[in-house]
Every structure is written in C-alpha cells, then in structure tokens.
Amino acid sequence: MKIPDYRIYRVEDAPELVRCQQALAQKGLKDPWLRNEVWRFNVQEWGTPQQRLRTFFFRGFKWGFAAFLATIAVEKAVEVATGGGKSGHHGHH
C-alpha cells in the first residue's frame, strides 16, 4: 500500500473540520494537527459515514448466509441418512 503525501490533505477539503477549526478560533485556539484527520472525511475514498456503517455491519454477510444454508443442508442430510435421529427406545423404565 502506498502512503499518500501528507501535503495533499487540506482542512478546507473537509467541511466538518473547517467548522471545528472555526469553533477553536472563536476560543482563541488552534489545532496544528487537524490536517492529520482530513483523510477520515474523504468521501471519494472512504464513503459517507452511513456507507461505512453499512459496510461494517454487512461485510461478509453474503458468505455467512451461504455458510448458514450449507450448514442447514448438511444437518438435514445427516438427519435423513441416520433415520431422523430417533433412537427407537420408547419403552417405560
């Protein structure tokens, strides 16, 4: 993975960080490291927060659901092959 040059990131490219920078300026403060957070707000590369959340929860869902169906199929096949899992002992003790 190629690490991008830090100079390509500008706080002005992230409206959320611009608002943060302005709020800090109103209090007479400045965050010199704010530029380091710009990559997190790059929608072209990382998507919107909603897209990232959807990806987080549903990543692997397709393969997981396929494994679930395969497990059910194998269990049913084993059940049919072994006679339904009934032991045949219905007597009273």
Is 67 domain-assigned? no
User: Does 54 fall in a domain?
Assistant: no
7 within a domain of the structure (yes/no): yes
Q: What is the mean pLDDT of residues 61-88?
A: 88
Q: What is the pLDDT of residues 2-20, one digit of tens each?
A: 877 878 888 998 888 999 9
Nearest Cα to Cα of residue 34 among 14, 4, 5, 8: 14
Note whether residue 69 is domain-resident. no
Which residue type, as a one-letter code, is found at position 15?
Answer: P
- What is residue 3's predicted lDDT score, i.e. its pLDDT? 76
Q: What is the pLDDT of residue 93?
A: 60
Domain that holds residue 18: 1-46
Residue with tokens 């709020």: 23
Number of domains in the chain: 1
Tell me if 17 is assigned to some domain.
Answer: yes
For 83-88, what is the mean pLDDT? 64
Is residue 20 in some structural domain? yes
Residue 23 lies in a domain: yes
> At residue 85, does pLDDT exceed 90?
no
pTM of the model: 0.51
User: Higher pLDDT residue, 30 or 83?
Assistant: 30
pLDDT tens across 26-50, in order? 999 999 899 888 888 887 778 888 8
Predicted local distance difference test score (pLDDT) of residue 28: 96
81 vs 69, 71, 75, 86, 88, CA distance in Å? 18, 15, 10, 12, 15
Distance CA 92, CA 62 (A): 48
